[in-house]
Amino acid sequence: MRGSDARRSGGLVVTSALIDDLSREPPMAAIGSTWRLFTDQVMGGVSKATMVRDLVAGRPAIRMRGSVSLENNGGFVQIALDLSPDGGVVDASAWSGIELDVFGNGESYGIHLRTDALARPWQSYRQVFFADAQWRTVRVPFERFVPHRTDAGFDTDRLRRIGLVAIGRAFSCDVALGGLRYFRLPR
């Protein structure tokens, strides 16, 4: 985890640790791992997407655009980042959750987290967020993530990967990520 800061949010002091601030050459994240694009084409689907570094509403961002199709048992496109440069686990148990700066097309998207307990690519811990046509910060506490197709407990001390996902319905996706952090609220 690179850097941290403290700031006020609704009267509470929120502290955070950087995952990516888009300060390195694309597709490299600030933590040293690489952003990657995945689509359902790896399973025979026909969804299509691009991932580019872009200037969105005056701010540097990673932008995912594409079309999600349910044909051929498909239905997703995703940008994903290993939370450790060596692909190992990260202990995020000292943090309250994930905070991301997003800009989009008014659609809902998913944040998917994976731990080292998950062996199948379709398993994750998920939460939905909306990406409006203006920059905003979305803060998702770990306690709100829901297990998907796994009985394994969600161990925040064993995180491996985060994904921003357009999934589950046919639609045009356009979502930009301008920053990604762990956050902690005071106890």
CATH of residue 124's domain is 2.60.120.430
Alpha helix ranges (H) inside the chain:
none
Look up residue 142 and give its DSSP letter.
G
- Read off the tokens for 30: 């600030």
pLDDT grade, residue 1 (50/70/90)?
A: very low
Enclosing domain of residue 43? 2-184
Which of 34-53 are b and which e, b meaning 16 or more Cβ less than 10 Å from the residue's Cβ? ebebbbbeeeebbbebebee
- Tens digits of per-residue pLDDT, 69-85? 999 999 999 999 999 99
- Tens digits of per-residue pLDDT, 127-167? 999 999 999 999 999 999 999 999 999 999 999 999 999 99
What's the number of domains the chain is made of?
1
Beta bridge partners of 98: 140, 182
- What does the pLDDT read at residue 100? 97
- What does the pLDDT read at residue 113? 98
Look up residue 87 and give its DSSP letter.
S
- Read off the tokens for 79: 């940008």
pLDDT grade, residue 186 (50/70/90)?
A: confident
